[in-house]
Amino acid sequence: MEKLDGLEILCQLEPRDFPIFMKQVVPDLAGNDGLRLWYRFLNCGFRLTATAGTDKMTTFVTAGANRVYAQVDGDFTYQAWIDAMRAGRTFITNSPVLRFTVNGRQAGARIEFDSSRDKVARIYAEAESQLPYHRLEIIANGKVIAEASPSGARHRTRIHHEHRVTGSCWIAARAVEDLGEYRRQGFRFTTVHAAQGTTVSNYFGTRRPETVFAHSSPVYVIRDGRPIRSYDDAEYYMRYLDNSIEWLKSSGRFKRAEDKQASIDAFLRGRAIYEQRAREAREG
């Protein structure tokens, strides 16, 4: 319904782990971590700025590690920062610092491509970090299209990449530490207080399993005026809302019957939007 400016991607949970709330309504849960759910939103054509913060409810959480940086034009004021956030000029991080542009434009930009003359998006990304990570990656519509490994004391790496634009897409950069070794050691990222720390939690003196992670907001590349659309992702959220509507009907508790119906109607309006976007994806 275009009511959101951003989405908190980095909080107190590993963004590549699975949702822990309302799991019974999330379709295909085992293949849809929090990061993938954000990518699905973007693939449906929604602009959702990446934001972050510390959900500080216990001593288990690394206070201040998860944060968002916004590029402010001109003097720094609260309103200028809010404007930068809403425009999507952000990256989120718990250690790596990102620099990222597409055709010289920073995160949040919308770039119009004319297929008769514009063929290639020129992408630049750079990351450096106090804590080690494994890869800097370029993501287009949720898929890795380029990557590089860091080196040196500051764990720095750069990517210069030319991406052939065959359709409208979003492009972003991320720096990641692999999860595999932790999982082989028996780490559960939904555990509140682990007996053994990760790189991040050891450094900050906590035992909340978190990994080194950073992600830019996207640049939106629009080819021939066609919006970003994905049938599969729109259909996924139709199923998500179908499950939610069924939960409201069977388990939702309301003071009045009309309140229950109003909630169901709101979900039905949301479902209609995804149905329309699925139709546009098929026709486009």
Element holding 31 (H helix, E strand): none
Residue type present at position 31: G
174-208 b/e (C-beta count within 10 Å ≥ 16 → b)? bbbbebeebeeeebebeeeebeebbbbbebbebbb
pLDDT in tens, 63-120: 788 899 999 989 999 999 999 999 999 999 999 999 999 999 999 999 999 999 989 9
Write the pLDDT tens digit of every residue in 2-25: 889 999 998 777 888 887 778 889
Q: What is the largest CA-CA distance in the chain?
A: 63
Separation of alpha carbons 255 and 257, rounded Å:
7
**11: helix, strand or coil:** coil
Judge whether 214 and 174 are in contact, CB under 8 Å.
yes
Question: What are the residue boundaries of the structural domains of the chain, listed by start?
Answer: 6-223, 231-283
Supply the pTM of this predicted model: 0.94
- Structural tokens at position 120: 């290639």
The answer on pLDDT for 50 being more than 80 is yes
Confidence at 38, pLDDT banded by 50, 70, 90? very high
Q: Where are the alpha helices (DSSP H) in the chain?
A: 34-43, 78-87, 180-184, 199-204, 231-250, 257-283
**What Cα–Cα distance (Å) separates residue 140 from each residue in 15, 81, 146, 161, 228?**
18, 27, 9, 12, 11
Four-residue CA torsion sign, 55, 60, 64, 65 = negative
**Burial environment of residue 4 by CB neighbours within 10 A (0 to 12, 13 to 18, 19 or more):** exposed
Model confidence band, residue 37 (pLDDT cutoffs 50, 70, 90): very high
- Stretch 246-261: mean pLDDT, rounded? 96
